[in-house]
Structures are given as structure tokens and as C-alpha cells.
Structure 1
């Protein structure tokens, strides 16, 4: 946790640990790939923005691949159970891939025994898009702006609760950074997914949610209020919500994600998957899903995506050291 400012508290615990990676199997002949359905592991419950975008991607890419692309939800452990499966059980034949996101890149630097190397223990295929994050409160509550949010936290140390989709997620660490800068004591309440967290705010279980835009329908429906967005510019969908930059914090947070597979995949298979996923990403139907959740396009081809993951791994390691972050 950050050394500056009062300590923040986190409710609930997160188990860790992973099995050693099995011996790699020989990759398939890419000319015959795929010869059966492909599993796309989504490490969140159904219903969230990433789940919707990846389900659309799976449906569209199946047409080019000639095989179904079946979404398999594996929620829990801040979205890292899919990575655990890819590194310990999945064969590198291209028929099992999963979402690669920042919590997977970050996790090895938060635990005593790193479960994987985020750069070298995966076959990185394609970068897709990011999220629009923001802080949301109950519409009929006492907090109506970001300034109100900070003032309430200062007046009520240790009582302002905020939900995220998990411990050590990008949005959790961003809130830790904001709390350290503002010198406030707030309480983190992790949920399994951003849509569950948004509902928890609407029902009064927690006071706020800091997460991706699964909260958008509840904001548009009048149950919740968006008090700030973490994008570079104001969202056209929510033009009244200021950005963090406008509020004095030079922070832009989109947390780009993509698709990766087990270590050792055949380059020809990776190319087939990249081309099918890229075509699906650019399809108007997938663009419509991204627009629904205000998800910025963050496309990287295979080589560039691996380089991006390597850069992010260096950044996340430095951040974990600077903030003295540990989850075990």
C-alpha cells in the first residue's frame, strides 16, 4: 500500500497460488487449424463490458475460423483464473485462449511466488480495446460531485466505501493512488465483477463504485450518478462528468486488454487467430458493442502486443515496488 497518506483497508481476502506449468505439447499444423471448437476464457461473470465485447468477438470470428468460438466464464481471483488455466492446464494448440488484462500482467509482482511470467509464459495474439472507468455514487445520496466525494471522505474517515471488480485491479490501484494524493481514508470492497458492484451501489450496500462502465445503464436510468471519468477527454455519452485531469489529477486510465494463449503456440496458428480476431474487432457489430460500453479501441498486432505487454510488465513491477503492494 502507498506509504503516503493514511492506510486504506480492503475487505475480503484473495487466495493465491498456481501449479507448475506442464510440459508443452507440439503445436498443430496451422493448415489444419482449427479442427474443433475454440475455447475463449473470459475471467469475469457474464454480463459485464468485457464479457459482452468478447462474446461478440467470438461469434463474429467463428465465421472466418469455420469452428465455434465458445466463451467460458471463469470468474474470481481478480480476473486471473483464466491465466492460471492457460499456464497450468491448456495445451498450446490454439484451441484454448483467454483474455489478457492488466491484473494478469501485474499479479507476479504482488505475490511472493510469481505464478507466471506475463511476457514469456503466454503466446500473445492481439490487443483489442480498453475500458472507460469512472467513480459512480447513488443518485439520491449526499454526494453529487467529486469534490463532495473527497469532502465526505475527509469528514468521515474510514466510512466511505467503494467497490471494484477485485483486489489489485487497475481501478483498485487507481483509487489507492487518488486516496494517497487526497490524503483520505476510504474502504475498498471488492466484488466479482463491475456489474455486480454497480448494483451494490444502487441497492445501498456500498457508497460508490470505481470501475468500468457496466454502471452506465444505471446512470442513464437515474439510479446512479457519474462524478468523474478516467478517460483523456469527457465522454460524449456522459458530457457532464469531468475527467480526472480536469479535477487536478493527471491520470488517464483505460487498462487495455487483448487475447493470449499458452506458451509455445505455433506462429502460423497465432496468425490465423490474429487475423480472425482482428476482422471481428473491426466488424460494425463489435464496434457497436464497444460503443455501448464506451470502450476505446486499443488494437495491437501480434508483435506489437507482445512489446506492449513487456512495457506494461516493467511499469507494473515499478508501481508495485513504489507503493509496496502485496496481496499475500
Structure 2
């Protein structure tokens, strides 16, 4: 994995064209001089594609649109969000990382599902960690455990005890073995000592598909970000009975963590960031990193993320890359142990 130690904040891409004339004697023309020219091209000078490898309306998409709006104003060039859904995030990633030119005018909205979880859940994924040059992380989301609004369990502790006694009755939703829902469920079942193979995954297209299935009684459990589950929970059609992590979500202060309810060790979280194709000039990568850092520290941008229940969190290229590598190792081990690595 590449590590990045370039200086941050480089605002220009230098393209130097050097034309050197002959230095020798010519019987007819005499001595010719040496000429050197240099052109400087500012970046960006045209529209940028910000590829979201999922459908519109999800967490990755909403964060990307907020970022595109901010950076379009910052740089004075349009940044257009392009949704290329399919293959659990691999279709859009393939386009952005392998088909597009590495010139800084195509960037990828990346998250767990098309990086660490894809590598952890599949032995030979179409998109590998090494296909990315990671620029920066810009937001995180807490996982919420969601059941039907009138489900009989009063809390997560009682629900976990029911699953321990009736694992074959547990159905849960996910976009597939590489989805963060699968890893959230796997980590929880491991913590309470339940064989994951006795439960059943129901494949869905995402939160907009899975939450209605839970509300309608077609699945027992959905695990999504707080932001994705918030609206339907507010309507009373579903109920959030726990969140992951060691502290309550700032967006759901009345919902206790799993840890508070006797289930320890739930660390899976959602995040989103930006990557670019390998071979993208270092100066452009560094300019994106600096711009994202400034953006994530901007109070107006932070407010936009909080409105969609996403926590503003920045990590630069090197830290971001190291985090993803460690996460990949953990998820690969978890998927292998729990028997859902394909």
C-alpha cells in the first residue's frame, strides 16, 4: 500500500515544457541559442466527476453532494456527483479507479463496503485495496440495530437473549457478505455466542429496501447507520434498540449503546472518504487532502453533515490508508471465523 508524505496544500500542477536548441557551431547560421519555456496550469480548470458507486439518497451520496457543493465554491469549478450503482459498489469503483484517466478530474466516494469490507468478505474482489490512492476520510456514522416498531423485545439485551435461544428465527438484511450490515451482525453474534450460520441473511438493495422489509415483518433485524434509520424510526414504523460504539450517538441521545445493555466489543462503524486512481499526480492528491481538511473543519459544512446524522471526522492520506489496512485485516479475520467470506 502506498504511503503518502507529500506536502499538503499544493495548489497548482506544474507542467514544464523545455525546448533546448543546439549548442554547437553551424557554418551557415552561426551559434544557436538555448531557449526554455515554462507553462503553469492551475488545477482544477474544468469540471470534476465525483463518482458515487451507490444509488442516490444513501449516506455516501448525501455526504458526497455536500462535499461537492463546498468544493465547487472553493475552487470555482463545477464538481458533479455521478451515481454509478451496482455490484455492491464495484461498478462505480471500477469506472473511477480503472477506466478514468488519473488526472484529478475523476474522484471516487469510497467507504467500507467498497474497500475493507469488500476485501474482508470476498477472496477475490473485483476492486482491491491496492487499486485506490486514498486521499482523506471526511465522515463517520454509528451503526443502529433496528427492529419492527411493535416488536416484542423491550431492549437490546432482551432481543439478544431471544436470538441466543432462537438463532434459526433470526433474519437480517444486508446488500451481501461485503455490506457493513453483515459485519455489524457478525460482530454482534460473535459477542453473544451465536452461530451465524444458523441465522439467515436477506439480500436487499440497501436501507431504502431493507427498512421497509423490517417494518413489514419480512425481516427481523436491519443494521444501518443512525442517519439511514432515523426518519423511519421517527415515524414509529421501526425502532432503534441499540447503537454500536462506546458512547451514545449525539443524534440519538436517548438510545443506549449495546455496551450499556451488556453486549461488549461492537466496533464496526460506517465511514466515507475520497480516493483517486493510482498515478494521479501527487500535487493534485495533496491539494484534495488539504481542501478536505479545511472543509471538515468548516462549521457550515459540519452542520450540513449533522443534518444527515453523519459525524464530521477527518483523516489525511497516510492515517486514512493505515486505518483501512488495519480494518481490512480485522474484517478478513471476522468473515473467515464466522464463515461468510466468499
- Residues 74/245 of structure 1: CA separation in 2 closer, same or farther (3 Å cut): same
- Residues 216/59 of structure 1: CA separation in 2 closer, same or farther (3 Å cut): same
How many residues are aligned here? 300
Structure 1 residue 55, shift from structure 2 partner: 0.6
User: Structure 1, residues 200-256: CA drift from partner, whole Å, max 9, x if none?
Assistant: 322333222111121101212222211100132112432332212222322233233
User: Structure 1, residues 14-44: CA drift from partner, whole Å, max 9, x if none?
Assistant: xxxxxxxxxxxxx985843222211111122
Q: For 2:65, what is the secondary structure of its paired residue?
A: helix
Structure 2: tracts of 5 or more residues without a match: 1-12, 16-39
Asked if structure 2 preserves the Cα contact closer than 8 Å seen for 1:61 and 1:279, the reply is no
Partner of 1:232: 246
User: Structure 1, residues 54-100: CA drift from partner, whole Å, max 9, x if none?
Assistant: 11111111112221111111223223332222332111111111122
| Alignment of 1:188 onto 2:201 | yes
Partner of 2:295: 280
Match 1:81 to one of 87, 91, 107 = 91
| Alignment of 1:201 onto 2:214 | yes
Structure 1: tracts of 5 or more residues without a match: 1-26
| Alignment of 1:98 onto 2:108 | yes
Whole-Å separation in 1 of the counterparts to 2:117 and 2:167: 29
Match 1:47 to one of 27, 32, 57 = 57
Higher CA-based Rg: 2
Asked if structure 2 preserves the Cα contact closer than 8 Å seen for 1:65 and 1:276, the reply is no
User: Structure 1, residues 266-300: CA drift from partner, whole Å, max 9, x if none?
Assistant: 01111222233333333333312322343233311
Partner of 1:72: 82
- Residues 138/314 of structure 1: CA separation in 2 closer, same or farther (3 Å cut): closer
Asked if structure 2 preserves the Cα contact closer than 8 Å seen for 1:77 and 1:166, the reply is no
1:190-269 equivalences under 5 Å are 190-213=203-226, 214-246=228-260, 247-269=262-284
Match 1:115 to one of 126, 143, 150 = 126
Asked if structure 2 preserves the Cα contact closer than 8 Å seen for 1:160 and 1:207, the reply is yes
Partner of 2:168: 158
Whole-Å separation in 1 of the counterparts to 2:117 and 2:232: 30
Asked if structure 2 preserves the Cα contact closer than 8 Å seen for 1:165 and 1:211, the reply is no
- Residues 191/283 of structure 1: CA separation in 2 closer, same or farther (3 Å cut): farther
- Residues 220/94 of structure 1: CA separation in 2 closer, same or farther (3 Å cut): same
Tell me the TM-score normalized by structure 1: 0.82
Q: For 1:232, what is the secondary structure of its paired residue?
A: coil
User: Structure 1, residues 94-120: CA drift from partner, whole Å, max 9, x if none?
Assistant: 1111122222233234434343441x3
Partner of 2:23: none
Asked if structure 2 preserves the Cα contact closer than 8 Å seen for 1:74 and 1:82, the reply is yes
- Residues 172/39 of structure 1: CA separation in 2 closer, same or farther (3 Å cut): same
Tell me the TM-score normalized by structure 2: 0.78
Q: For 1:158, what is the secondary structure of its paired residue?
A: helix
- Which structure is richer in relative contact order (CA contacts within 8 A, separation 6 or more)? 1
